[in-house]
Amino acid sequence: MSLTLKLITLLLLALSHHAESGSIVKFLPGFEGPLPFELETGYIGVGDKEDLQMFYYFVKSENNPQEDPLLIWLTGGPGCSSLFAILFENGPLALKFELYNGTLPSLVTTTYSWTKMANIVFLDQPVGAGFSYSRTPLLNKVSDTGEVKVIHEFLQKWLSKHPEFYSNPFYVTGDSYSGKIVPPLVQEISRGIFFLIHIN
């Protein structure tokens, strides 16, 4: 097993503490000292019986979390863990590339992380990606339209547990295959907005 895969496995195990409302992670293997940003991980159940357990990583903005935008990041694939985005794309951590010396690879902070100016929910999706899973085997069958509804329900439940972000600007973001999910997800979210508007 490659060194990178070993580190990712260790990180996933460290971050996967199952908790409905989320757990704050202060230390990670391979990172020296406490994390210089706030990281929350957890599961949110969706579906009639909450059979779909959606795993997320939430990184608060390092600038002004109360006013900075809230983003949901959907990694493509489909089926890639959002940990990939955290370590290799736009997250606050990266692997320190150095010759292998027999120890655990090091993690370092990144200069150009999007979390310098935004709060980001990195969601493991669809079910089966990363630590997201189904309690019922039949629910492992996913479709793009079904995934849109799952993510929409996830967002509603996540925001109900984090009401301090209701008034922040909100963006749906992602890469690769998520280009098929983001537009219908935005449409699904916009349909729900009409129910929140009070007209005199």
Contact 156, 95 (CB under 8 A): no
Please state, in angstroms and rounded to a whole number, the distance separating the CA atoms of residues 72 and 80.
15
- What gap in Å lies between CA 14 and CA 33, rounded to an integer? 15
Cα–Cα distances (Å) from 187 to 8, 103, 193, in that order, read 34, 47, 10
Domain annotation covers residue 14: yes
- Collapsing DSSP to helix, strand or coil, 59 comes out as strand
Burial level of 23, CB count in 10 A (0-12/13-18/19+)? middle
For residue 8, tell me if it sits in a domain.
Answer: yes
For residue 55, give the nearest of 150, 141, 139 by alpha carbon: 150
Beta bridge partners, 72, equal 121, 172
Distance CA 6, CA 198 (A): 52
Q: Does 142 reside within a domain?
A: yes
Confidence of residue 3 (pLDDT cuts 50, 70, 90): low
Residue 200 lies in a domain: no
**Burial letters 159-190, b for 16+ CB under 10 A, else e:** beebeebeebebebbbbebbeebbebbeebbe
In a domain, 10, yes or no: yes
Contacts of 100 (CB under 8 A, 6+ apart): 3
| CATH number, residue 117 | 3.40.50.1820
- Tens of pLDDT, residue by residue over 167-192, are 999 999 999 988 899 999 999 998 87
DSSP letter at 156?
H
pLDDT of 197 over the 50 cut? no
Alpha carbon distance 72, 52 (integer Å):
18
Query: pLDDT tens digit string along 31-90?
Result: 999 999 999 999 999 998 898 999 999 999 999 999 999 999 999 887 889 999 999 999
The whole-model pTM stands at 0.84
pLDDT band at 16 (very low <50, low <70, confident <90, very high): very low
On whether residue 125 sits in a domain, the answer given is: yes
Taken in order 73, 66, 16, 133, the sign of the CA dihedral is: negative
What are the structure tokens assigned to 98, written together? 């150095």
Task: Assess if residue 113 is contained within a domain.
Answer: yes
Number of domains in the chain: 1
- Whether 66 is in a domain gets the answer yes
Query: What single-letter DSSP state applies at residue 48?
Result: T
Residues 119-168: pLDDT tens digits?
A: 999 999 998 899 999 988 865 566 888 889 999 999 999 999 999 999 99
Range of the domain at 166: 3-193
DSSP helix/strand/coil, 41: strand
Tell me phi and psi for residue 110, to 5 degrees.
Answer: -110, 150
